């Protein structure tokens, strides 16, 4: 309750009015609020914006039998395969190219996503509650005392590894820090670890690279246990996730939503698999509002990045697509409206680096 009051005291985006209507936040949401009370403060580096309630419902993302693949029009059924080919081609050089293309800024953007997610505080809250229950000899229901994180389109693990570290899953000082007493009796459909990170990607090559990086970085222990592993890599489509309803506390997708053929379906699936009170966070390239910065950014994007892809990855076409896909994707407000349309509440976005990228977030209502 104290954490919730802290959140309300620092939120300038209508939280009081909405919470009067319903109790929207779970215990994990309260932990987010406590750890990150200043995310609603605008600055020259990070701009926060809430949804515009006067905006009409956006048009459906897919209209007709064609959609865009960069600046090219392709059949709706064709796009998924084309995108898959792009990431199969760039998988091995993906992380190196991210550093080169962004001048290392992608690390700052992902670190900001991590900070805003408050995963470290949520993991601490889960452990503290578990310890209190153990000390009081209370029966423990893991389904109400857990932290489940789903990182979609996160094949190489760059975001997921940040969550693993922040949640303390990689700490050698803690013996199986993700475990709970009595968890061995959980069923196959009820994962046994109280804290877990699942990486889901449609592209098996990206997953191959990510899992290899994970084993090199953390060893094999975190990936053991199948569905019950603290860290797992699974192949899946953001438009038709195979996870049950109400499975995750946090859903993240970084630089992947614009590659989903039907963004509306992707958002609907995110909403479905989140638990009531769960949080959606999307880190994605967006639209630069300042005309001078936009001109500089466009010049760099179209003239430097494809040439860099050809030089480093021997693949100009894939990076030409990546640049074009950014321009065809929804702007900040449109994506916010799409999130509203599927049912997310307290939606807002945070511009980073002048709007080159933005973090969109929203909450699944409890009722």
Annotated binding site: 156, 201, 237-238
Which of 69-83 are b and which e, b meaning 16 or more Cβ less than 10 Å from the residue's Cβ?
bbeeebeeeebbebb
Q: Could you tell me which of 80, 81, 70, 88 has the C-alpha nearest to residue 313? A: 88
Place of tokens 């605008």: 42
For the annotated binding site for S-adenosyl-L-methionine, the residues are 156, 201, 237-238
Q: 306: which strand partners?
A: none
The SS3 assignment for 226 reads: helix
Whole-number Å distance between alpha carbons of 249 and 274: 6
Whole-number Å distance between alpha carbons of 14 and 12: 6
Q: Could you tell me which of 350, 348, 356 has the C-alpha nearest to residue 46? A: 350
Residues 113, 250 contacting (CB under 8 angstroms): no
The SS3 assignment for 241 reads: coil
Whole-number Å distance between alpha carbons of 274 and 148: 9
- Please name the helix (run of DSSP H) or strand (run of DSSP E) that holds residue 347, with its range, or none: strand 345-352
Radius of gyration of the chain (CA): 20
> 344's torsion region: left (phi>0), alpha (psi -120 to 50) or beta?
beta
Task: Retrieve residue 249's tokens.
Answer: 């506390």
Q: 46: which strand partners?
A: 352
């Amino acid at each position: 309750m104290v954490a919730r009051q802290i959140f309300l005291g620092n939120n300038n985006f209508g939280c009081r009015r909405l919470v009067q209507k319903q109790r929207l936040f779970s215990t994990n949401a309260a932990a987010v609020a406590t750890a990150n009370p200043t995310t609603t403060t605008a600055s020259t580096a990070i701009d926060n914006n809430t949804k515009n309630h006067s905006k009409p419902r956006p048009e459906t993302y897919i209209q007709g039998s064609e959609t865009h693949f960069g600046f090219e029009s392709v059949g709706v059924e064709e796009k998924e395969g084309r995108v898959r080919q792009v990431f199969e081609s760039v998988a091995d050089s993906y992380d190196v190219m991210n550093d080169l293309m962004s001048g290392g800024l992608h690390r700052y953007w992902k670190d900001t996503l991590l900070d805003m997610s408050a995963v470290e505080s949520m993991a601490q809250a889960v452990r503290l509650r578990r310890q209190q229950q153990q000390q009081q000899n209370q029966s423990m229901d893991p389904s109400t005392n857990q932290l489940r994180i789903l990182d979609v389109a996160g094949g190489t693990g760059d975001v997921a590894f940040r969550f693993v570290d922040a949640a303390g899953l990689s700490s050698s000082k803690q013996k199986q820090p993700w475990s709970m007493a009595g968890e061995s009796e959980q069923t196959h459909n009820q994962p046994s670890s109280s804290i877990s990170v699942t990486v889901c990607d449609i592209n098996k090559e990206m997953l191959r690279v990510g899992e290899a990086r994970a084993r090199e970085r953390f060893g094999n222990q975190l990936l053991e246990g199948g569905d019950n592993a603290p860290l797992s890599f699974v192949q899946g489509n953001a438009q038709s996730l195979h996870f049950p309803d109400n499975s995750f506390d946090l859903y993240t997708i970084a630089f992947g939503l614009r590659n989903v053929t039907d963004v509306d379906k992707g958002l609907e699936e995110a909403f479905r698999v989140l638990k009531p009170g769960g949080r959606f966070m999307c880190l994605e390239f967006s639209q630069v509002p300042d005309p001078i910065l936009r001109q500089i950014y466009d010049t760099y994007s179209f003239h430097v990045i494809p040439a860099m892809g050809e030089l480093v990855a021997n693949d100009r076409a894939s990076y030409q697509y990546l640049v074009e896909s950014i321009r065809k994707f929804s702007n900040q407000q449109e994506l916010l409206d799409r999130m509203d349309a599927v049912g997310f509440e307290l939606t807002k976005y945070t511009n980073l680096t002048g709007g080159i990228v933005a973090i969109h977030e929203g909450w699944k209502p409890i009722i």
